[in-house]
Chains A and B, each alone.
Chain A
């Protein structure tokens, strides 16, 4: 198995350089917000292991919300964010990226504070890497190579079925399985299809992963009395604050909404980028950090097979603290319209959303941290849309394929690779075609 990784580079934009940078970002696109895969700045298509990427400015129109707590509006820099999800180790990928797109990256970073065109690009990028506090991948170990091969495989099978309908129409699932295996072995032999076997997982990764998954549980059990006490105290403290924390959920500015909407629904998948400020005080900070830690643990060790709780539409998502953990950015790649994404959030994962996002200023009122909150549907949607920011450049390496498509294609392939299937399994497999 090849585990996936992510990078997130964050660099403050020079105050006078914003307009020029936006013009440069525009040159990377083929459609509003959608990258030309072969654009001159970062030709994403040259990185076959890249799943998704985005280049955007982290614009936050909500920084004055802290005035609800009597605090002055802080001045944060405008950041340039370069973000991606890919199949190898971050070190290798960044090195590869910095070598093959050095001039493009330098063009981008030359709009940022403290960038030296003659300096070491890779070192500069490492310096500006912002680690994700929580990161979610839809399916651990599913590589771009696998996605491409399986999509081609499924297309070939569909074409075969349609082209040989007279022969396959009355075939039983077992006969169908045999016929398709026969057909595809021919295609593979003729090199019209490839089915690269999953490479063995590096033993170092297995050990590190096993440790990371078990250690917190052991530690949690050992420290459970302490954790229980702290959790109860925190929950009570949160409960006290919940009843008075201000809700700031006005409807989003129609121009802001229209700008973002112009980039959306041009593909099965869409990008989502948002930023907000953490509520002041140690209690919210602690709960926010703890919430993201739990989320990350769940994403890395529990929800690794196509489902984040009940949500099946998220390809990759990341939660990244910025500005000394005073603000949080959230970026995801999801299937469907924003309306259906928010529907998924509210109706399928509301408790988790409340846990993490209710520590942000202005979030709809929660009850005992997990209840209510986003169930106040319109307030929640207003909150989310107001914190959303425009993603100038977004790249999807597999347009037209939803996360569910990828899961089905993988299941189809797995069934096909099985030398024999039980009649029951063959039935379930045939139903996926």
Chain B
């Protein structure tokens, strides 16, 4: 582990979830709350022991993270002049417009009007995520519920989680592909990056730092004075106080997985692995380097080993800025102008470094083995799935791009008639074109097309949150107080 002192980031100001998944705390709840009384909510915030990203020894036995939707910040009394400086996606919300839902594939069974939470009176203001040892979790939640808490919040939903030992509900080892944050800012962000790198600029996951374009992402920058002085100066404009610094956006999507449908359809582990792009133990279908996250698709250009449409090949194509690694300035120039000989799939997929997310989700519901999944379901089969959580500094360019262009799109990478095999909603396109197939390329043989995939995953809720820094939390606990006086 990197020592805290070597980073430019003040870990004590960053919520722990950005740096750690708290995997040693195997039990967790996501509490979705509505603010009933702003004054009490602010008082609770001031007293909340929010876990930071600073390393402690021994590891903490509980962790607490707090995030807000736009309506939550409004309910806390944050001035409108501050609110409008947050990103449009955050302000509008995950279910805030039909245009967004259409783009993200939240249509048909996934449509927000079917969600159990995340819309209208079920829209949360606050997310409180609590992590603990299994036997300590309930006590931990009870200890949160002070008189202030009870006066402050009305519960919208309590999302429980389950620990399947690093395996997601379809039975595949999960959480392998994660970007490595360049905490020490060792990467040179100027110029092109011809090859795939797993190290990504801090600014992609925390506001206030240079992102992959070597620019600071837009965020609220406030004039100094009064409560605003609780905030640190902005790095690129020290005259301003940075409400974004060390904060980020958190996307929470409740994904119900139909494990029985998945295995009844796939039947074999071979086809299921093709859907995922990995074997069940997490080994990728293409040859790897030292770890299961150390590989690219460069040696599988025709998708013989791993289908183009495989879930992990869609969600992280592992490419660089150029389809071919250039050698020298002339080759680079020729490629920029599009004069180098190119293959059919070249340049169809955007460079991945601008579209990475940090995944922090947890499973829910009891696990089910592939064999059991193919048996008839018992009465009252409990729901199971993923509380998908990701962190990103720019929801539009990161989560939404990924969800739209790489997951929901039925022409990703030149494919025809298919969306993500796991997450696709199987709704037809405008021209009536079907999106429910899955194509397996074979060496020196015709492709095999698997038709009529059923929907395996259904969105049942979701929201965009802002995960503030510790300074940001103090500001939120204070700013509304002054406004209301």
Q: CB of B405 within 8 A of chain A?
A: yes
Does A413 lie at the interface of the complex (its beta carbon under 8 Å from any beta carbon of B)? no
Q: Is the CB of A162 within 8 A of B449?
A: yes
Q: Which of A391-405 contact B (CB under 8 A)?
A: 399-402, 404-405
Contact A376 B213 (CB under 8 A): yes
In the complex, the chain A residue whose C-beta lies closest to that of B413 is A404
Neighbour of B429 across the interface among A172, A267, A336, CB < 8 A = A267
Q: Evaluate contact between A310 and B405: CB separation under 8 angstroms.
A: no
- CB atoms of A400 and B431 under 8 A apart: yes
* Contact A430–B88 (Cβ < 8 Å): no
Bound CA–CA A404/B348 (angstroms): 9
Answer whether residue B239 sits at the interface, using C-beta atoms and an 8 A cutoff.
no
Give the residue name and chain of the A residue nearest to B304 (CB). A431
Contacts of A404 in B (CB 8 A): 348, 411, 414
Residues of B with C-beta under 8 A to A161: 446-447, 449
CB-based contact A268/B337 at 8 Å: no
Complex Cα distance, B433 from A339, in Å, reads 23
CB contacts under 8 Å to B, within A305-332, are 307-312
- The answer to whether B99 and A262 have CB atoms under 8 Å apart is yes
Q: Return the CB mask of B400-430 against A: 1 if under 8 Å, else 0.
A: 1100110001110010100000000000011
A346 → chain B closest CB, angstroms: 8
**Count the A residues whose beta carbon is within 8 Å of the partner chain — how many?**
60
Q: Are B441 and A408 in contact (CB under 8 A)?
A: no
Cβ-defined partner of B97 (8 Å) among A258, A266, A309: A258
- Looking across the interface, which residue of chain A has its beta carbon closest to that of B404? A337
Contact present for B344 and A340 (CB under 8 Å): no
Q: Provide the bound-state CA to CA distance between A400 and B430, in Å.
A: 7
A170, A267, A348, most chain B CB atoms within 10 A: A348
A162-B451, A340-B401 given; A405·B411 CB < 8 A: yes
Residues of A within 8 A of B351 (CB): 347
**Chain B proximity of A246: nearest CB distance (Å):** 17
Q: Is A89 an interface residue (CB 8 A)?
A: no
A301 within 8 A of B: no
Q: What are the interface flags for A333-354 relative to B under an 8 Å C-beta threshold, 1 for contact and 0 otherwise?
A: 0011101100110111001000
Is B166 in contact with chain A by the CB < 8 A criterion? Answer: no
Q: Complex: how many Å from CA A173 to CA B302? A: 15
Q: Is B348 a contact partner of A378 (Cβ separation < 8 A)?
A: no
> What is the minimal beta-carbon distance from A272 to any residue of chain B, in angstroms?
15
A87 beta carbon closer than 8 Å to chain B: no
Sample 22 A-B pairs with CB under 8 A, ordered by A number.
A169-B448, A172-B444, A176-B445, A251-B218, A254-B91, A257-B88, A268-B411, A303-B338, A309-B336, A309-B338, A311-B347, A335-B411, A337-B103, A340-B404, A343-B401, A347-B351, A377-B215, A401-B431, A402-B411, A404-B348, A404-B411, A405-B416
In the complex, besides A351-B336, A432-B344, A433-B446, 19 extra interface pairs with C-beta distance below 8 angstroms are: A169-B445, A169-B448, A173-B445, A176-B446, A266-B102, A267-B429, A267-B430, A307-B338, A307-B347, A310-B335, A312-B347, A339-B404, A378-B218, A379-B215, A401-B431, A404-B411, A411-B344, A430-B444, A430-B446
